[in-house]
């Protein structure tokens, strides 16, 4: 249901990502408007709402969702608040774009999967935005097209300039490596079966008590091995790379440096300082895809099952980090609602198979349902 064809979206959580999504819905994405914002901090919700014409401010997500003005929900509150927001959205049968993580642990993620299964149709898209990054999509198209032969390994680098106060070693898995966990499942179309974490002597720049950097090894159901360097206080900027090694070649996403300048006896370009900048196009494309699909009555992209699988791998990852042992991952049986073709339903477009295709696309396929 939409109002005059425009999707009224309630944005829950107005922190860094939430307020960036409000701006994106207001200024970048077509076919949607922010009709409500929710934050436990009433003053902050009101300040954000005041900047958007016709937007109301709330402190209770369920109350906002009951408003006639709300057709869909974007969840960008802290992870522990996601489960309640998702279950409330299911009560109103509202489509949801939920920021990662789906929920902070496998048991709560499974409760979300079970609730959506009872609903009988997919309503959740999880915000694994790398699936909407132009280079990652090109890499996916190359692998799917057999251009590299069978994928044998992925070498991943995930570096942040610095961490906010309170960032813990567990968060390096749950907040950061969760992206490589999703990318591995998506690029290879395989489940992750075991996790090992190696912790070198920490950098002198790492906050006390934080293991940084770390090397995370993922093993997959198809026999591939993935190594992830996670280094969240590297100091120089934000850098995410993924190199696929196949039987017949290799390809690497993440080297785009924008303008490349030769001047004053030096060569080079700039490095983005954080993910909001580095993945701006991916966030735009993700949100436009969600709005377009929702207006068509469809749910596409990373599913609640993908969110659950990532949470289960993260849980094993944290155990591996704490014990130093190779830790197997156990998944429950995949409900029929998330049949393999629907769970990864991403129709790659012609743009994705050639260099430089970064424009937003609403041509993804997925589960169809009406409201
Ligand atoms: C953050 O929450 C993100 O999602 C970023 O993409 C990641 O690079 C960062 O490490 C996380 O803290």
Token pair belonging to 82 = 């996601």
CA of 353 to the centre of ligand 1 (A): 27
Please compute the mean of the pLDDT values over residues 12-22 and round it to a whole number. 96
CA of 275 to the centre of ligand 1 (A): 7
Please compute the mean of the pLDDT values over residues 282-294 and round it to a whole number. 98
Counting atoms of ligand 1 from 1, which one is nearest the CA of 274?
8
**Domain contains 290:** yes
CA of 233 to the centre of ligand 1 (A): 12
Task: Decide whether any atom of ligand 1 lies within 6 Å of the 275 Cβ.
Answer: yes
Is 104 in the same domain as 169?
no
Query: Is the pLDDT score of 282 beyond 80?
Result: yes
**Domain contains 174:** yes
Is 59 in the same domain as 191?
no
In the structure, what pLDDT confidence band is assigned to residue 258 with cuts at 50, 70 and 90? confident
Q: What is the CATH number of the domain that holds 193?
A: 3.30.360.10
**Domain contains 323:** no
Is 247 in the same domain as 298?
no
Q: What total number of domains does the chain contain?
A: 2
Q: What is the dihedral angle through the alpha carbons of 184, 190, 196, 201, rounded to the nearest 10 degrees?
A: -10
**Domain contains 101:** yes
In the structure, what pLDDT confidence band is assigned to residue 365 with cuts at 50, 70 and 90? very low
* pLDDT score at 263: 84
User: pTM, whole model, 2 decimals?
Assistant: 0.92
Is 116 in the same domain as 217?
no
Q: Which residue, 263, 278, 293, sits at the end of a domain?
A: 278
**Domain contains 52:** yes
Q: What is the sign of the dihedral through the CA atoms of 302, 359, 89 and 86?
A: positive
Is 88 in the same domain as 151?
no
Tell me how far apart the alpha carbons of residues 232 and 13 are, in angstroms, rounded to a whole number. Answer: 24
Query: Is the pLDDT score of 363 beyond 50?
Result: no
Q: What is the CATH number of the domain that holds 31?
A: 3.40.50.720
**Domain contains 370:** no
Pairwise pLDDT comparison (70 vs 367), residue with the higher score: 70
Please compute the mean of the pLDDT values over residues 8-22 and round it to a whole number. 97
**Per-chain mean pLDDT for the chain:** 92
CA of 364 to the centre of ligand 1 (A): 25
Please compute the mean of the pLDDT values over residues 15-19 and round it to a whole number. 95
Helix/strand/coil (H/E/C) assignment for every residue in the chain: CCECCEEEEEEECCCHHHHHHHHHHHHCCCCEEEEEEECCCHHHHHHHHHCCCCCEEECCHHHHHCCCCCCEEEECCCHHHHHHHHHHHHHCCCCEEEECCCCCCHHHHHHHHHHHHHHCCCCEEEECHHHHCHHHHHHHHHHHCCCCCCEEEEEEEEECCCCCCCCCHHHHHHHHHHHHHHHHHHHHCCCEEEEEEECCCCCCCCCCCCCCCEEEEEEECCCCEEEEEEECCCCCCCEEEEEEEECCEEEEECCCCCCCEEECCEEECCCCCCHHHHCHHHHHHHHHHHHHHHHCCEECCCCHHHHHHHHHHHHHHHHHHHHCCCEECCCCCCCHHHCHHHHCCCCCCHHHHCCCCCCCCCCCCCEECCC
**Domain contains 74:** yes
* pLDDT score at 346: 57
Residue 72, domain extent: 7-130+280-302+345-354
* pLDDT score at 364: 36
In the structure, what pLDDT confidence band is assigned to residue 341 with cuts at 50, 70 and 90? low
CA of 350 to the centre of ligand 1 (A): 29
Is 206 in the same domain as 286?
no
Is 89 in the same domain as 148?
no
Is 16 in the same domain as 99?
yes
Query: Is the pLDDT score of 367 beyond 60?
Result: no
* Residue 331 phi, psi dihedral angles, 5° rounding: -110, 150
pLDDT, tens digit (0-9, with 9 covering 90-100), for 58-71 = 999 999 999 999 99
Task: Decide whether any atom of ligand 1 lies within 6 Å of the 176 Cβ.
Answer: yes
Least confident stretch, 98-112, 128-142, 303-317, 334-348: 334-348
Is 30 in the same domain as 120?
yes
Is 143 in the same domain as 184?
yes
Query: Is the pLDDT score of 259 beyond 90?
Result: no
Query: Is the pLDDT score of 279 beyond 80?
Result: yes
Is 227 in the same domain as 295?
no
Residue nearest to atom 10 of ligand 1 (CA): 176
Is 233 in the same domain as 156?
yes
Choose which residue among 133, 156, 160, 283 to substitute to test ligand 1 binding: the one with the highest number of ligand atoms within 8 A of its C-beta: 160
Tell me how far apart the alpha carbons of residues 146 and 45 are, in angstroms, rounded to a whole number. Answer: 48
**Domain contains 247:** yes
* pLDDT score at 362: 36
Query: Is the pLDDT score of 212 beyond 50?
Result: yes
């Amino acid at each position: 249901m939409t109002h005059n064809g425009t999707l009224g979206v309630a944005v829950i959580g107005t922190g860094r990502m939430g307020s960036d999504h409000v701006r994106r819905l207001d200024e970048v994405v077509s076919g949607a408007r922010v009709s409500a914002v929710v934050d436990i901090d009433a003053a902050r919700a009101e300040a954000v709402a005041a900047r958007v014409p016709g937007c109301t401010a709330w402190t209770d997500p369920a109350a906002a969702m009951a408003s006639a003005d709300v057709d869909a929900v974007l969840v960008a509150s802290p992870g522990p608040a996601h489960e309640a927001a998702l279950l409330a959205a299911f009560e109103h049968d509202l489509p949801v774009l939920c920021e990662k993580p789906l929920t902070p642990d496998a048991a709560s993620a499974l409760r979300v999967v079970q609730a959506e299964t009872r609903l009988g149709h997919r309503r959740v898209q999880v915000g694994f935005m790398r699936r909407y990054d132009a280079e990652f999509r090109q890499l996916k198209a190359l692998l799917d097209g057999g251009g590299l032969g069978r994928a044998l390994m992925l070498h991943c680098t995930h570096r942040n300039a610095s961490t906010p106060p309170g960032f813990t070693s567990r968060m390096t898995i749950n907040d950061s490596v969760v992206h490589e966990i999703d990318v591995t499942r998506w690029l290879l179309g395989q489940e992750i079966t075991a996790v090992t974490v190696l912790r070198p002597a920490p950098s002198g720049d790492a906050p006390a008590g934080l293991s940084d950097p770390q090397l995370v090894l993922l093993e997959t159901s198809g026999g591939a091995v993935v190594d992830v360097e996670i280094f969240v206080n590297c100091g120089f900027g934000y850098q995410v790379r993924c190199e696929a090694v196949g039987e017949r070649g290799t390809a690497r996403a993440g080297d785009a440096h924008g303008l490349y300048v030769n001047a004053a006896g030096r060569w080079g370009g700039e490095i983005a300082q954080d993910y909001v900048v580095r993945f701006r196009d991916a966030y735009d494309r993700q949100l436009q895809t969600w709005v377009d699909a929702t207006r068509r009555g469809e749910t596409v992209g990373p599913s609640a099952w993908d969110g659950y699988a990532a949470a289960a791998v993260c849980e094993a990852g944290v155990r591996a980090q704490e014990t130093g042992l190779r830790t197997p991952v156990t998944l429950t049986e995949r409900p029929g609602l998330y049949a393999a073709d629907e769970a990864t339903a991403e129709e790659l477009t012609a743009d994705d198979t050639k260099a430089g295709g970064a424009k937003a696309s609403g041509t993804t396929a997925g589960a169809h349902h009406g409201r």
